[in-house]
Amino acid sequence: MARESVEHLDALVIGAGVSGLYALHHLRGMGLSVAVCDGAGGIGGTWWYNGYPGARVDGPGSPFYCYTFADELMQEWDWAETQPSQAQVLAYLEHVADRFDLRRHIRLNTWIRNPRYDEAAQRWTVDTSTGGRISAQFLICAVGALSTANRPDIPGIDDFAGECLHTGNWPHEPVHFAGKRVGVIGTGSSGIQAIPEIAKEAAHLTVFQRTPQFSFPARNQPLTAAELASVRDNWDALKANMRNFNGGFPWPRNLRTAAEDTPAERQALFERLWEEGTLKFIVDNYSDLLTNKETNGMVADFVRSKIREIVRDPATADKLMPDHYVATKRPVLDNGYFEAYNRKNVTLVDLREDPIERITPSGVCTATGVCHLDMLVLATGFDAISGTFLRLNPKGRAGLSLKERWRERYHNYLGLMISGFPNLFMVHGPGTPGVLYNMPLGAEREIEWVGNCIEHLRGESLGAVEATPAAEAAWAEEVEGIANRTLYPLTDSWYTGANIPGKPRQFPVHLGGPHYFERLSQVAGSGYEGIEFEAARSEPQSALFV
């Protein structure tokens, strides 16, 4: 395709999700010329793609899964529920885009291809799926940590004759289950949210479960006017607490260990947390939940006893018993998941005892026979955290591709930069708290740091910024050192990359919470320790546009 001309920008942001929207707002506010490109037909990133039935915020809840950069957002936006639905979060992001006039610098239906660094120009060049070419001094990869759907490589999957949908790439048109025999493969967060909703409508639902999950009641309910007013009245203090407490939510963690309480006190705590629901079941649980196998085992036993209480058929309950360490796979919140197995129209297939052999045009063939289906829902998750960066596959110094650089492990510094890839910044990349932190707040804080780093570079009339390999090695030790004191690395999960065949095994999440952001401040305060700046080789090439 003939290319017209090259468009010059200060910064190109890839992705119009939660992170990309804020990156645009923040960098544009600094006076940079910025554009956001996104391949989707709408803004919202993960919240655009994951419109499956039952999709909701599954963190500690509303109204704190939100931006904090503009107080008027909290004052103006009426969150309706404690665990907002996908539609509500998407509406919020649409409101943010309008309120801050972001849309004029966002290009939808525009995929970025072949990003490559030009060492002489100290700039990135990319091609777009619409036939354009963009040159930008800074490439901001806000591509999402849960944005590349994992379509399992099950023999025959493409032969299925009925509708086959992935929860992470859900159609924007209405999907009807009524009168249909539906199969769901996967029982992570997405499957567990979708299953009770699909069960209400489908003629029959068969759930194919590979690993049983610990799931806790979401107890979603309307957010009352009084609750919202109280948050608004105390917003300054709550905002400060969000920054100070682990996880990016405004509550302190329980500091007690399980051994400090009697068995009766422990049981009372577990019961209270179960009744209250939400992810506080983890956050407010004993402080050694994720470091002490015995404590973890007590919590696991409690949840298993709850599953047995809820599920009436003992054989089905047996299949639903999780046997990994609680919360070392992403903890799940549900609205009636275990109860769904008491319905006559729901069947559970345990793939550990009856594995899938192939998918045929008419259904799923397991070791014991064929389950005939009209519709298949793949709730099989994502190539998480590193997957979308690797698909973007930028080429850095000397044409080295990210796929080569990350063949064995995800080398990075602060989770934000990669040596050999100057002027490229990741948001929620491997090495950040990312998926184990309040994601909108984490994005704001990471992007603020990136903005300050860019400001430093421009203030000193420098041309490029890059992490050193030595700083990356020390950072890897820091991230892994923290993780290795926990139970997380012991479990196969999408955190460790175990869900994608061939992925390097690495726990790439910084578990330090607020400590991570202190580290960012330290690095900036020390004159950007571990980072090299290169003198500018030429005059800036982009014009300010507004």
- Which residues of the chain form contacts with ligand NA7 (CB under 6 A)? 58, 146, 152, 154, 167-168, 185-191, 210-211, 330, 351, 379-382, 494, 499
**Residue 47: closest CA among 144, 192, 166, 173:** 144
Residue closer to ligand NA7 by CB (options 122, 190) is 190
Dihedral sign (CA 478, 481, 486, 491): positive
* Beta-bridge partners for 334: 217
The answer to whether 81 and 300 have CB atoms below 8 angstroms apart is: no
Q: How far is the CB of 341 from ligand NA7 (least distance, A)?
A: 15
Categorise residue 285: left if φ over 0, alpha if ψ from -120 to 50, beta otherwise.
beta
Pairing assessment for the beta strands 346-350 and 204-209 based on DSSP bridges: parallel
Three-state SS for 241?
Answer: helix
Residue with tokens 């930008």: 136
Q: How far is the CB of 208 from ligand NA7 (least distance, A)?
A: 6
Q: How far is the CB of 80 from ligand NA7 (least distance, A)?
A: 20
Residue closer to ligand NA7 by CB (options 27, 384) is 384
Residue closer to ligand NA7 by CB (options 351, 524) is 351
Contacts of 250 (CB under 8 A, 6+ apart): 64, 238, 239, 241, 242
Residue closer to ligand NA7 by CB (options 149, 228) is 149
Cα(315)–Cα(341) distance, rounded to whole angstroms? 11
CB nearest ligand NA7: which residue? Answer: 188
Q: How far is the CB of 275 from ligand NA7 (least distance, A)?
A: 23
Tokens representing 33 are 């010329």
Tokens representing 380 are 């099989």
Residue closer to ligand NA7 by CB (options 86, 423) is 86
Cα(488)–Cα(473) distance, rounded to whole angstroms? 21
**Residue 513: closest CA among 290, 299, 292:** 290
Q: How far is the CB of 146 from ligand NA7 (least distance, A)?
A: 5
Three-state SS for 237?
Answer: helix
Residue closer to ligand NA7 by CB (options 365, 474) is 365
Q: How far is the CB of 439 from ligand NA7 (least distance, A)?
A: 9
Q: How far is the CB of 331 from ligand NA7 (least distance, A)?
A: 8
Q: How far is the CB of 280 from ligand NA7 (least distance, A)?
A: 16
Residue closer to ligand NA7 by CB (options 45, 420) is 45
Residue closer to ligand NA7 by CB (options 25, 329) is 329
Q: How far is the CB of 424 from ligand NA7 (least distance, A)?
A: 25
DSSP 484-514: TTSSGGGS-STTTTTTSTT--------TTTH
The CB-based long-range contact list for 116-121 (8 Å cut-off, 24+ gap) reads: 116/394, 116/395, 116/399, 117/394, 117/395, 117/396, 117/397, 117/421, 117/422, 117/423, 117/424, 119/397, 119/398, 120/537, 121/537, 121/538, 121/541
Q: How far is CA 35 from the centre of its chain?
A: 23
Residue closer to ligand NA7 by CB (options 49, 410) is 49
Q: Any alpha helices (H) in 178-279, and if so which ranges?
A: 189-201, 225-233, 235-244, 263-276
Q: How far is the CB of 317 from ligand NA7 (least distance, A)?
A: 18
